[in-house]
A and B are shown apart, each in its own frame.
Chain A
Amino acid sequence: MKEKFEPNIIGFLCNWCSYAGADLAGTSRIQYPPNLKVIRVMCSGRVNPIFVINALQQGADGVLIGGCHPGDCHYERGNYLARRRMAVLKKLLEHTGIDPNRVRMTWVSAAEGHKFAEVVKEVTEDIRKLGPMQNFKRENKW
């Protein structure tokens, strides 16, 4: 039987909301796919698009950025700026032929453990359908 493709997804989760939400999903023993590899950042506004590109280069099949709901950012406006940035980045990726659905964004608050699990399930399945990221992966074949 053919092995199912397990996507590698990097998650940049903001410390105050989405990381806490992920933590809540864990303590509540909610089951969700193990494909998400979490990197905690203090705010979703910390996420520089170069992180996203670098993750895709190093072999990630998808990237998820989790932030606080608009208006709830611990640093007042970081999530608003991230929202603008990611909108521009996704359009640019689409123009160069990289599927913009590989880069996803979500608002998850610290109380939304269930929502976090649902988001991870949805993103994992979407990226599983898209297949492995080949476009500009680092070959490392020196």
Chain B
Amino acid sequence: MDKMILAKNALQKFIDELLKKNKVYAPIKNDETVLFEEIKKPSEMTLDYINSEYPPKALMLNQTETLFKYIPGTKGKIEPVNMDEDKIIFGIRPCDAKSFAILDHVFKSDFEDPYFLTKRKNTTLIGLSCIEPGVNCFCTSFDDSPASSKDLDILLTDIGDKYYVEVFTDKGRKLANTASKLFKPATESDAKKKKDAEKKAIDAIKRVQKTENIAEKLDKIFDNKYWKEVAAKCVGCGTCTYLCPTCHCFDIQDESTLTKGARIRVWDTCMNPEYTLHASGYNPRPARTNRVRNRVYHKYNYYPKNFDVIACVGCGRCIDLCPVNIDIIDVVTTAGEVKP
């Protein structure tokens, strides 16, 4: 069955079942900060959150990833890393799940990145619908819903005293079957309750970003002085890039002691001037204007042109945490109205 019911007091038992044979990552609270970390007991998990500040993309595209280990010298060798590790991410929101699908394009296009794709293959996503979206959520601007998804394996929606469980993929079915006695089939009234909860959540999203034909509109205003106004406030901190679930720029470095080392891949940010600094000293993006404009274009112009999807999921993290209130909803909506 793909549409089932899970009683609220059975949720802990479900997590217990999952923990028996799998690694489970779920939202936890470290003081007031919500993070997706590995849990060993269901009591470590929290359900009191809108979304984590630090995105769950860190579980697919680790902030620090070892590519291979090596021992230097004439008798040296290279040791590949073990990537086969099954895991489950519980409590992920539909927008973050969509971000993985968006990242798939980049890591599959010219070259298939084994690190990211192996993790994608070995991870099962159990989502939790947003019934109370955040102030700056705008997933509906991309025709997405806070309570449906094409990119999850299982989706749970809170409909009062129980969860409405939808299973979308074989991976999800396999997992649900391990705890099949905790589920009951869903009735018509349950399905209606879920529809109502979804509508309520969609109506609660007040902010709208106008993205109609945005790629073409942006093409016409590349040299417009509008970008100087937008970027004047930017301090170049990089918070937006680190918290964005679709940002994926990285740097590769070797780290070593005298006797061993590893090549690692770390997150990098295009808001840093050093990101585009050439060895000659020339910098093609010397000013914040260039870098802020590049970030907006990457998400709303280059990505749609290459892969047919806007690289923004509407999670609102950048708006919540930008120190100077650079609001991507306003920036893009206004950019669409600037006369070329």
Taking beta carbons and an 8 Å cutoff, which residues of A are in contact with B? 140, 142
Contact = CB atoms under 8 A, between A and B. Distances in A.
A57 to B, nearest CB: 11
9 contacts: A140-B255, A140-B257, A140-B260, A142-B66, A142-B69, A142-B255, A142-B261, A142-B262, A142-B264
Interface in B50-73: 66, 69
Q: Which 6 A-B pairs have the closest CB atoms?
A: A142-B262, A142-B66, A140-B257, A142-B69, A142-B264, A142-B255
A67 B261 CA distance: 35
Query: Do most interface residues of chain A lie in helix, strand or loop, or is the interface mixed?
Result: loop
Nearest to A58: B257
Contacts, number: 9
Nearest to B81: A142
A142 B261 CA distance: 8
Contacts of A142: 66, 69, 255, 261-262, 264
Contacts of A140: 255, 257, 260
Given A140-B257, A142-B69, A142-B261, 6 more contacts: A140-B255, A140-B260, A142-B66, A142-B255, A142-B262, A142-B264
A83 B66 CA distance: 41
Interface in B223-266: 255, 257, 260-262, 264
A140 B254 CA distance: 12
Nearest to B79: A142
A142 B260 CA distance: 10
A19 B223 CA distance: 61
A142 B80 CA distance: 11
Contacts of B260: 140
A142 B257 CA distance: 12
Nearest to A140: B257
B17 to A, nearest CB: 31
Nearest to B68: A142
A70 to B, nearest CB: 38
A38 B8 CA distance: 64
A48 B299 CA distance: 42
Nearest to A142: B262
Nearest to B256: A140
A4 B44 CA distance: 41
Interface in B261-284: 261-262, 264
A77 B261 CA distance: 41
B76 to A, nearest CB: 15
A8 to B, nearest CB: 14
A140 B70 CA distance: 12
A140 B257 CA distance: 8
